[in-house]
Amino acid sequence: MKILSIDTTSEVCGVAILEDENLIVETSLTNGLTHSENLMPIVKEALEKTGITLKEIDLIACCTGPGSFTGIRIGVASVKAIAEVGHLKVAEVTSLESLAKNILENCEAKVSLIDARNNQCYCGVFDNEIHLKKEYMADDIHNILEKLKEYKGITFVGNGAELHKELILENFPNAKFSCENKQTAYSCGLVGLKKYRENQLKNADTLLPNYLRKSQAERLKKES
């Protein structure tokens, strides 16, 4: 199975092509251009490098957030267009699932933390097969850590885990931390393959962004 994987939810614009679990090519850019400028040229470059055509792609794995609101919109809109043209099925992958895939060792809970600024984090708690153990959270890091105290063996991953490592260790002295804290299109593709095998697929019409919370502009407007 050939998978086109796209992640635009962070500052990195990433594209990968996989054959089942095997990575064929991966390209990522943080060159100062917007994801809208980078994404389609990177997709074209990845296909040309591999000699694979869009007709040979069996599945698109799309990272739908949470993360950059603008990046999420660009990625989801682009995947919708590609899927519509190619009549392709889509695996909807959250950035928290993708990060959790970076944790290779088994543990009671794989916890992905993405920094959302001002002590806020997006959080996902997963088992070893990257199935959700608890509802996604978008909250103050102190509140999140309090809600995680039911778990004894936790491995943390993500830029939120890096940022709040000292606080995490105060609450979980035995916590472990992933060495790979960046989202990648490859890990997104791996989770997409898992969802394909579990028959959890979307199409161009049903693919939706996953913001977890309203944008800062929307929150300020509501408060005014």
pLDDT band at 221 (very low <50, low <70, confident <90, very high): very low
pLDDT band at 222 (very low <50, low <70, confident <90, very high): very low
The pLDDT of residue 146 is above 80: yes
**Single pTM value for the model:** 0.93
Q: Which two tokens stand for residue 135?
A: 């509802």
Q: What are the Cα distances from residue 165, in Å, to 80, 116, 174, 186?
A: 37, 15, 12, 25
- ∠ CA 76-79-80, rounded to 5°: 85
Question: In 3-state terms, what secondary structure has residue 211?
Answer: coil
**Domain pair 2-95+183-223 / 103-177, same fold:** yes
Q: Taking residues 150-156, report their average pLDDT.
A: 97
Strands (E), the chain: 2-7, 13-19, 22-29, 59-63, 89-93, 109-115, 120-126, 132-140, 154-157, 176-177
Residue with tokens 């035995």: 174
Q: Which residues contact 53 (CB under 8 A, 6 or more apart)?
A: 47
Domain boundaries, the chain: 2-95+183-223, 103-177
CATH dotted code for 2-95+183-223: 3.30.420.40
pLDDT by residue (tens digit) across 194-211?
999 999 999 999 999 999
Q: Which two tokens stand for residue 195?
A: 């969802």
**Biggest alpha carbon distance in the chain?**
53
Average pLDDT, the chain: 93
**Per CATH, domain 103-177 is 3.20.20.70:** no
Q: Taking residues 15-26, report their average pLDDT.
A: 98
Rounded CA gap, 164 and 97, in Å?
20
Higher-confidence residue of 85 and 34: namely 85
